[in-house]
Amino acid sequence: MEKTYQPHAIERSWYETWEKKGYFAPTGQGDPYCIMIPPPNVTGSLHMGHGFNNAIMDCLIRYQRMKGRNTLWQPGCDHAGIATQMVVERQLGAQGVSRHDLGREKFLDKVWEWKEASGGTITGQIRRLGSSVDWSRERFTMDEGLSEAVKEAFVRLHEDGLIYRGKRLVNWDPKLHTAISDLEVENLDEKGNLWHFRYPLADGATTADGKDHIVVATTRPETMLGDAAVAVHPEDERYQNLIGQFVLLPLVNRRIPIVADDYVDREFGTGCVKITPAHDFNDYEVGKRHGLPLINVLDRDAAILASAQVFNIDGTPNHEQDPTLPGAYAGQDRFEARKAIVAEFERLGLLEKVDDHALKVPRGDRSGVVIEPWLTDQWYVSTKALAEPAIKAVENGEIQFVPKQYENMYFAWMRDIQDWCISRQLWWGHRIPAWYDAQGNVYVGRDEAEVRAKYSLGDAPLHQDEDVLDTWFSSALWTFSTLGWPQNTDALKAFHSTDVLVTGFDIIFFWVARMIMMTLHFMKDEDGKPQVPFKYVYVHGLVRDSQGHKMSKSKGNVLDPLDLIDGITLEDLVQKRTANMMQPQLAAKIEKQTRKEFPEGIASYGTDALRFTFCSLASTGRDIKFDMGRMEGYRNFCNKIWNAARYVLMNTEHEDGSPRDCGQFGGDAQGSESVAGGRTPGATEVTLSLADRWIISRLQRTEEQVEKALAEFRFDLASQALFEFIWNEYCDWYLELSKPVLWDEQASEAQLRGTRRTLVRVLEAALRIAHPFMPYITEEIWQRLAPLAGRQGETIMLQPFPEAKAEKIDAAAEADIEWLKGVIVGVRNIRGEMAISPAKPIDVLFRKGTPGDAERLQNNQQFLKKLANLASVRWLADDEEAPLAATALVGETEVLVPMAGLIDKDAELARLQKELDKLSKSIKQVEGKLGNANFVDKAPEAVVAKERAKLEEARSACERLQAQYDKIAAL
RNA sequence: AGGACUAUAGCUCAGUUGGUUAGAGCGCUACCUUGACAUGGUAGAGGUCGGCAGUUCGAAUCUGCCUAGUCCUACCA
């Protein structure tokens, strides 16, 4: 083996082997266990969040696979309608071509081309992360099968009365020319103005204080062209006499009523609100209550129309209202028009004042432009009926969120859920299965033929709806559409409901909630009981940069997980972060920041270290600040494992690589190493040392801890338990304790065999525990180690996960080792504080202690001598005078390092004083507790007893050290 | 405006149903190239657990208030 761990030397080939051998596919044996990958955007690339997500899922899948479950982890991507179309349009735009130049069909060909070209990025990344997904079942939301499922779901929902079409206000993106759902709108705090306009009263009416106008305020002056009313609060005394009167809308000369509505906040501004039902969601509701017309003044680019489009609240055309608009603004962009209209008000003396105003501006999460509420025909999913069972499924525990707190977030959203606008004015996506006849009647069906037959349309001309469905509509079907629905496939029967969904909290509404609704609606058991999509939703935090900022392309702080695996130079990283930017003006800032954060670029850490880091950061928090230092630590951990394995192999193989006797040959003499190693044929007895029994016992406890932590989705605790066991117990102590045995020329064959067997078996088991966290290094080492441990198998992937055995827990061995460690640490401490070279063997005396302690010393001298580098040890007789010595206490035992020639008087006094201070602090604390009658009376007996024991021990230790102190001080 | 979450060592984070001398990694200090490993070893230093009250014999842990930060939902024209 190489002297240091070289991740890139082992990773790729193992993944290829695993994949080629088909280890990732379900075995067909055992209880099914299924995870569906949250589909990333097919044209994107994985970021740290995906890396994190994959580490968790693969950990769960590999663990369950090793536990014998029939595991399916299914990969795939979604088609990301808006994002993908934007990318392709941008590419075409660079060549001066628009999608309209190409036409729908040719444009879609281009998109498919791009998908084919870029789709490999993500699958390549998933492979490099070591994810054991079943590639044979990879799915894509635009696949034929999934498209079939989408169509089927749409038609059925329509038949069930849960999909409808209507003219409503939607969030319109004037750049992308499509409706988007309210979830895709980001409300950002921005600075703006509040313009106060005078609206003259009609018919000579006046306000209570004699004015001939009222004042309304607006943040969007251009919408005044579509005003249909002015509203005041019904109980507002100032305007009582005006309710039912009219104002004459400036610029337009439209006569609009003054209505009373308690939506109005009397305290805000003048208490008068202009009502524009076609351009504001609240005004739309007011308009509904007062029968106001919807006066649309914007076109699809959010430029001003030459003539308004007027509708009644039910969406039918309104012919009563005069649609005339002032010609001056026709065709002007909304912000241009805004300026012009404000200027005109000012010219007319109707601009009362302009205030600065902080407001929330709705922006499209993709385009970044200001979203306009706009009146269009759209398709909606009626959500109320679907939400109800979805709420129940979580309430009654059929679906559990981990951590539980996210259930509140889910409930809050679900209980106030709005109908879901699912149509998008795009070309890339699932086309809506609806057809229109010449009269504009709409028919929904699986295809045109079905529609004609079902509605007896003969050969009347029909045309299909031009729109496509929201990508999240197809994602909502993900758990079952990917298993073959609407066909009742074997896979669907076996793996649905799936077991766990692993995701970030940011898409609970977008995806998780909608999946729950759709799945409960469509998937039923044989007895008609709705199926949940998954039993657990494990919600993890969002990976942030070291400053705690969210990683985003525009901030230029994104990291590609592969760059942490393989490493990247500073120049390449800068290049990567500043390429293809939407806002190139930020490049300089990003470059500077990148150079500051990664002055040396990023080193190569390997997949295993990255994955272990992700797992160790997976606690219950919401934010995960990614810490490079931590990853470096876990890379070192891999190196530690690597070198531990080297040590084990060195001691369990001969120089030619043939195995030594590690007890792997069982009870017969087959495979005897009599030829190579002088083993007596047939001899199989094994003697386990104290250290052997101890490490075996600790292994059981580790197995318990990991098991428990994984059951609770505490990947951080699981990885920590593993880390501690391997580094702090196996490497720091056990390997050191094995040396005195292996290097003892007097050691019996049974002793050697026992220690070798323990060395390999414990490490082999530890590798299996670690495998779900660090698949590559564990496989690499396991291949060499398994035969020595007497294990058969082609891969560690399919080996059983170790299970704790209660009978192997050895409390006595643990106590003995604790004592031994106490002695060793005590001596080392004296060495350290007294500046005695670790290379110098010293003599140590023992005194007091329990009879058991003396026996411990007797039995384990070899360990002590080696680990503390002692020349000699000796237990003083009761009546024997102790020489002047530095003292350490281990329980009852006093460990003495004679001072003669070695120890400086003042240094030892200082050291003792430090110990005494510590003890007296502790004594004071405990005395305080025990001196409190309330404590003694009310606290449980066991607690009081524990405190008493603690006090006694501390006092005794204190006395002994004090005596020692006095003795030395008297010199 | 409503709600949620977070606050523990210089940094990144653990701390299980209230009873510990409050832990880990990184960083820091001193010493050590001893035959697995300097991507290492040994020994250390470092915290009045954001603040204030309360419940309790006992609070990092439970309750309330305050402060700071993050986020979500809704929204004032």
* pLDDT above 90 for A725: yes
pLDDT at residue number A163: 94
Measured CA A580 to C1' B77 distance, in angstroms:
40
Q: Where are the beta strands (DSSP E) in A337-403?
A: 351-364, 372-381, 400-402
As a whole number, mean pLDDT of residues A951-963 equals: 87
| Kind plus residue range of the DSSP H or E element containing A888 | strand A885-890
**Residue A384: both structure tokens together:** 């109320």
Nucleotide nearest to A280 (CA to C1'): B77
Distance CA A312, CA A224 (A): 18
Q: In A 826-885, which Cβ lie closer than 7 Å to strand B?
A: 828-829, 831-833, 837-839
Is the CB of A622 within 7 Å of strand B? yes
Measured CA A123 to C1' B39 distance, in angstroms:
30
Nucleotide nearest to A635 (CA to C1'): B39
More confident residue, A528 or A667: A528
A803 SS3 class: coil
**Residue A462: both structure tokens together:** 């029909």
Segment A345-359, tens digit of pLDDT: 999 998 988 888 878
Measured CA A679 to C1' B32 distance, in angstroms:
39
Is the CB of A891 within 7 Å of strand B? no
Nucleotide nearest to A542 (CA to C1'): B71
Task: Write the single-letter amino acid at A495.
Answer: F
A206-215, A676-685, A793-802, A823-832, range with the lowest pLDDT: A676-685
How crowded is residue A58: how many other Cβ atoms within 10 Å of its Cβ? Answer: 24
| In the block, residue with structure tokens 């323990």 | A758
Is the CB of A546 within 7 Å of strand B? yes
Is the CB of A274 within 7 Å of strand B? yes
DSSP bridge partners of A307: A324
Measured CA A588 to C1' B11 distance, in angstroms:
28
* pLDDT above 80 for A553: no
A36-50, A354-368, A521-535, A592-606, range with the lowest pLDDT: A354-368
| In the block, residue with structure tokens 């280890």 | A23
Nucleotide nearest to A626 (CA to C1'): B12
pLDDT at residue number A142: 94
pLDDT at residue number A107: 93
A2-16, A288-302, A653-667, range with the lowest pLDDT: A653-667
pLDDT at residue number A266: 81
Instruction: Put residue A430 in one of left, alpha, beta given phi > 0 → left and psi -120 to 50 → alpha.
Output: beta
| Kind plus residue range of the DSSP H or E element containing A858 | helix A851-868
Q: Are strands A542-544 and A870-875 parallel, antiparallel or unpaired?
A: unpaired
Segment A310-347, tens digit of pLDDT: 998 888 888 888 888 888 888 899 999 999 999 999 99
Segment A488-539, tens digit of pLDDT: 999 999 999 999 999 988 888 889 999 999 999 999 998 999 999 999 999 9
Most confident range, picked from A198-207, A221-230, A410-419, A947-956? A221-230
As a whole number, mean pLDDT of residues A168-186 equals: 86
As a whole number, mean pLDDT of residues A175-189 equals: 84
Closest of A439, A421, A430 to residue A466, by C-alpha: A430
Measured CA A632 to C1' B9 distance, in angstroms:
20
Q: Where are the beta strands (DSSP E) in A88-232?
A: 139-140, 163-173, 178-180, 185-200, 213-218, 229-232
Measured CA A413 to C1' B13 distance, in angstroms:
31
A160-164, A432-436, A678-682, range with the lowest pLDDT: A678-682
| In the block, residue with structure tokens 């707190």 | A405
Task: Write the single-letter amino acid at A924.
Answer: K
Is the CB of A604 within 7 Å of strand B? no
Nucleotide nearest to A939 (CA to C1'): B57
Is the CB of A192 within 7 Å of strand B? no
Is the CB of A98 within 7 Å of strand B? no
Is the CB of A357 within 7 Å of strand B? yes
Measured CA A184 to C1' B2 distance, in angstroms:
22
* pLDDT above 70 for A675: no
Strand B bases contacted by the protein (CB, 7 Å): 3-6, 11-15, 19, 21, 24-27, 30-45, 56-58, 70-77
DSSP letter for each residue of A389-404: HHHHHHHTTSSEEEST
Segment A71-94, tens digit of pLDDT: 999 999 999 888 888 889 888 888
Q: Which residue is nearest nucleotide B2, judged by alpha carbon to C1' distance?
A: A412
DSSP state of A487: S
pLDDT at residue number A592: 86
pLDDT at residue number A922: 84
As a whole number, mean pLDDT of residues A647-663 equals: 86
Is the CB of A182 within 7 Å of strand B? yes
User: Exposed, middle or buried: residue A745 (CB in 10 Å: 0-12, 13-18, 19+)?
Assistant: exposed
Judge whether A81 and A428 are in contact, CB under 8 Å: yes
- Dihedral of CA atoms A56, A57, A60, A65 in degrees, nearest 10, equals -140
Closest of A303, A263, A266 to residue A285, by C-alpha: A263
Measured CA A724 to C1' B30 distance, in angstroms:
25
pLDDT at residue number A683: 61
Nucleotide nearest to A925 (CA to C1'): B21
Q: What is the ipTM of this complex?
A: 0.94
Is the CB of A617 within 7 Å of strand B? yes
Q: In A 715-734, which Cβ lie closer than 7 Å to strand B?
A: 716-717, 720, 723, 727-728, 731-732
pLDDT at residue number A673: 43
* pLDDT above 70 for A851: yes
Average pLDDT, chain A: 89
As a whole number, mean pLDDT of residues A623-630 equals: 86
Q: In A 499-538, which Cβ lie closer than 7 Å to strand B?
A: 509
Nucleotide nearest to A743 (CA to C1'): B35
Distance CA A611, CA A631 (A): 9
Nucleotide nearest to A946 (CA to C1'): B19
Q: Which residue is nearest nucleotide B32, judged by alpha carbon to C1' distance?
A: A838
As a whole number, mean pLDDT of residues A421-446 equals: 93
Is the CB of A962 within 7 Å of strand B? no
Is the CB of A3 within 7 Å of strand B? yes
Sequence-ordered list of residues with C-beta below 8 angstroms from that of A715, at least 6 positions apart, any chain: A56, A59, A614, A615, A616, A618, A709
Confidence of residue A386 (pLDDT cuts 50, 70, 90): very high
Measured CA A617 to C1' B13 distance, in angstroms:
8
Nucleotide nearest to A636 (CA to C1'): B39
Measured CA A623 to C1' B6 distance, in angstroms:
9
A910 SS3 class: helix
Nucleotide nearest to A622 (CA to C1'): B5
Nucleotide nearest to A650 (CA to C1'): B36
Nucleotide nearest to A283 (CA to C1'): B77
Is the CB of A918 within 7 Å of strand B? yes
DSSP letter for each residue of A16-33: HHHHHHTTTS--S-SSEE
| Kind plus residue range of the DSSP H or E element containing A717 | helix A715-723
Is the CB of A624 within 7 Å of strand B? yes
Distance CA A154, CA A145 (A): 14
Confidence of residue A68 (pLDDT cuts 50, 70, 90): very high
The rounded percent of chain A whose pLDDT value lies above 90 is: 49
As a whole number, mean pLDDT of residues A222-229 equals: 92
Say if residue A719 is preceded by a cis peptide, omega within 30 of 0. Answer: no
Radius of gyration over every alpha carbon of chain A, rounded to an integer in angstroms:
38
As a whole number, mean pLDDT of residues A891-915 equals: 83
Closest of A20, A58, A65 to residue A797, by C-alpha: A65
Q: Which residue is nearest nucleotide B12, judged by alpha carbon to C1' distance?
A: A627
